[in-house]
Structure formats: structure tokens, C-alpha cells
Structure 1
Amino acid sequence: MIREVLTYCAQALATESGFNFFSVKGPELLNQYVGETERNIRRLFQRAAASAPAIIFFDELDTMGITPDEAAALDGFEKLEDVVVLAATNSPESIEPALLRSGRLDRYLFVGPPDAREREEIFAIYAAKVPVAADVDLAQLAAATEGYTGADIRGLVNEAGHIVFTERGGDVDGAEIGLQHLTKAIELRGPSVTDKVLKRYTEWRPSDNFKS
């Protein structure tokens, strides 16, 4: 999945719903001492329960390196009222299978790259932060960047800025990023989500008991 999108969505969901938001990157819960990771997980859920309604968001879930015994620390928390658990990963196949079962994490949603309309909106966000020439056509750029993520588009705008900087020998006073600079950036930087990567995500299934 595209974690940057899910992180934003989780934060927006918490804000819109009035829920308290607990965001944790996978490695933050890990501890080298026996039993400490389980205790960290339980403390997190206890804090969320005390602050309910709340959303717990695990980012980089695949990096937790959690064991089946540590995954069992989640048992019983599905009965907590007004505590929602969300998680994001770019490597679903690396998640401990014991996490992916009823009562733990039992539903999944694939979030793919943005469509043309969304890419145009993302271009607009980043173009608003830099001086751009009048010839920049955001719809044209969106049409030329199928498969690009938000981070990819940010990289394109940055690359276009570097092209302008190089062209002008470092003198960027009064400089603007034009359509030709962004087009060149697209030629230099392809999408991070290739057909192979997309196929890997869309074909992934954790188990027969997991719901999409």
C-alpha cells in the first residue's frame, strides 16, 4: 500500500470524527528484552482505551518484526469500545501472519496510485509552493504521469527545480519552472509503482479468513 496516503487518511479520519489519534511506527514498539514488546503493545491499547474514542495507527507494520506470541497481546482488545485500529504497509507479504486474523487485523484495503484527477490536484499543491510559468498545464502533466504517487510527483517538481538551477548556473533570481522543465523531469524519473509492483499488491491475499 501507499503509506503516505494512508497516514494522511488516518489523521483526517481522526480529525473529522473527533477521535484521539495514536500514531506509532512499527519499530517504536520493539524491545530486545523478552516480554517488553508485548507490554508496550498492551500499554498503547490501554492508553487508547483511556482516551476513547481513539484511533491507533500502526505505520510500517511490516517492520515490527512481531512474533506470534507478541501478536497475541492484541487478543481481547477487539472488545474495547470506541477504539479503532488501522495499519499501513508497503510490504504486506512481510507482515507476521499471526497479526492477520479475526480479532486482530481482519480487513484490508488496497490503496493504489492516484488517478488523473488526483494527480492534477497533487501537482497543484506542489506547484503552489514554487514559481511556475504560465505554460504549465497541470492536466497535461497529470495525463503524462500514470502510476506516479504523491511522493513521485513531489520528486518531479523538485527535479524540475534542479533543472532550472542548472540551466541558469545557480542564478535562480526571477526564475520559473516551465512545462519543458517538468516534462524533462518526467523523462528522467519514472513512477515508483511499476506494473510488477502493482501486480504484487493486487494479487496478495493473507488468508481465507481475511476480508477485503
Structure 2
Amino acid sequence: KWVGESEKAVRELFKKARQVAPTIVFLDEIDSIAPRRGTFEGSHVTESVVNQLLTSIDGLESMEGVVVIGATNRPDIIDPGLLRPGRFDRLLLIPAPDSVSRLDIFKIHTKDMPLAKEVSLDELAEKTVGFSGADIDALCREAAMIALRDDIATKEVRRVHFERAMAEARGSLTDEVIKYYKKVKEDMGSSIAKKDKKERDIQYM
């Protein structure tokens, strides 16, 4: 009953995108639906989805006005077929948030949180070097949970609650992780550039 449902969903997605163009198709965690083919033995479902995705992007029907964006934490396991010119041929590495960005992220995740006047988001932003947006979200949630565990009737989240949450928190963006992503971007960017040049050479021969 469920065979082919994923492929159908991909076809319908791009069909609707073409109908309402101009539009953006955003595929979050694209590595989960388009990993390198041949990675999973004994199952052709993943390969079928990847093939359908490639067909939808390259299809005979015009993709004019449709921009396709994919996001991933594992660009190294995405199927190489997606990275050829005309598909996902531009790579953008999102850097670790700086102090200004971290402050904005703290503001987002504490906007509905009753903070004590002693809580300084600027100070928290300065102390969370190496924290991603998800890390900061988790930190804010933990601070709120600590406040409730201390006093279920509490009316505010205090500085001490954030300090205790930070004592257990660890930023996921270490120097090694950042270097890894930069290297992946350089390697993949170089590969795409070579493919792009080859495509142009073939086109004008």
C-alpha cells in the first residue's frame, strides 16, 4: 500500500511549486531523503526517492520561477547527483553565530519567558561562544525547567537558573567541527566548480 508514496509526495511537491511560481521549495535535512545511493543495502526506497527528486528538478516541465533550497548538517553524505550544475550547484556555509547573532537568538527564545531584571541577554550572548541556535534554545528551555523545579509557582526565570543551566551545557560548534565544515565546503565547492566547467566545455564544443 505504501510503496511509491514517498516518490509521489516529491512529484506532487514540485507540481504544486510550478503551479504557484514564483516560489521557494525548502527541503530541510535533505540528507535524510537524498543520501548517497548505494549506502543502504537491501532497500531501493531511498534510491527511488533520490531518482524522483533528480527527475523533478531536471524534468521536462519548466522550473522557471521555482528556487530549490536544501539544508543539511551532513553535506558529505548527500548523493553526488544532486550537486551537478543545474541542481544544487551553489553551496552556502552558514557560520557559527557571532555575539550579535546569539543575542538575537536569545531574544527569540526568551520573548515569552518572564525574565528577572537581573538577567542580561548581552552577557549570556558573550558567554555562549560555540553555541548554535539549537544549543541556545536548549539552554533557555533548561533554565526555565530549573526555575520550575526549584519552585513550581515561580513567576520569573532568574540569572542563577541560567548559570546552572550553563554549567551543564556545552556548545556543539567546537573548533574541530567548524574546521570540518569548512573543509567539506572547500572540497565540495571545488568538485562542483570542476563539474560546472566540464558542462560548459561540453556545451560549447
What TM-score, normalized by structure 1, do the two folds share?
A: 0.72
Aligned mate of 1:130, from 90, 113, 116:
113
Query: Deviations for 1:4-41, whole angstroms, at most 9, x for unmatched residues?
Result: xxxxxxxxxxxxxxxxxxxxxxxxxxx744xx655544
Contact kept, 8 Å, 1:76 with 1:103, in 2: the verdict is no
Aligned mate of 1:54, from 9, 17, 23:
23
Q: Distance in 2 between matches of 1:111 and 1:209?
A: 19
Equivalent residues, number: 176
**Bigger CA radius of gyration:** 2
Contact kept, 8 Å, 2:30 with 2:71, in 1: the verdict is yes
Equivalence for 2:161: 181
Change (3 A) 1:85 1:202: same
State the shift of 1:121 in Å.
Answer: 1.6
Contact kept, 8 Å, 2:99 with 2:129, in 1: the verdict is yes
Equivalence for 1:25: none
Aligned mate of 1:45, from 5, 8, 14:
14
Q: Distance in 1 between matches of 2:100 and 2:183?
A: 25
Helix, strand or coil: the match of 2:95? coil
Helix, strand or coil: the match of 1:55? strand
Q: Which moved more, 1:146-155 or 1:103-112?
A: 146-155
Q: Distance in 1 between matches of 2:158 and 2:111?
A: 13
Helix, strand or coil: the match of 1:86? strand
Equivalence for 2:171: 191
Kindly report the root-mean-square deviation, in angstroms, between the aligned alpha carbons of the 2 structures: 2.4
Change (3 A) 1:140 1:53: same
Q: Which amino acid aligns with 1:172?
A: A
Query: Deviations for 1:159-186, whole angstroms, at most 9, x for unmatched residues?
Result: 1122222333xx3243x22222212211
More helix per residue = 2
Change (3 A) 1:182 1:193: same
Equivalence for 1:93: 76
Equivalence for 1:75: 58
List runs of 5+ in structure 1 lacking aligned partners. Answer: 1-30
Q: Distance in 2 between matches of 1:85 and 1:76?
A: 14
Change (3 A) 1:162 1:41: closer
Q: Distance in 1 between matches of 2:27 and 2:146?
A: 38
Change (3 A) 1:140 1:197: same
Aligned mate of 2:122, from 130, 135, 139:
139
1:172 aligns with 2:153: yes
Contact kept, 8 Å, 2:22 with 2:66, in 1: the verdict is yes
Q: Which amino acid aligns with 1:203?
A: K
Helix, strand or coil: the match of 2:69? strand
Helix, strand or coil: the match of 1:57? strand
Identity score, percent: 37
Helix, strand or coil: the match of 1:84? strand
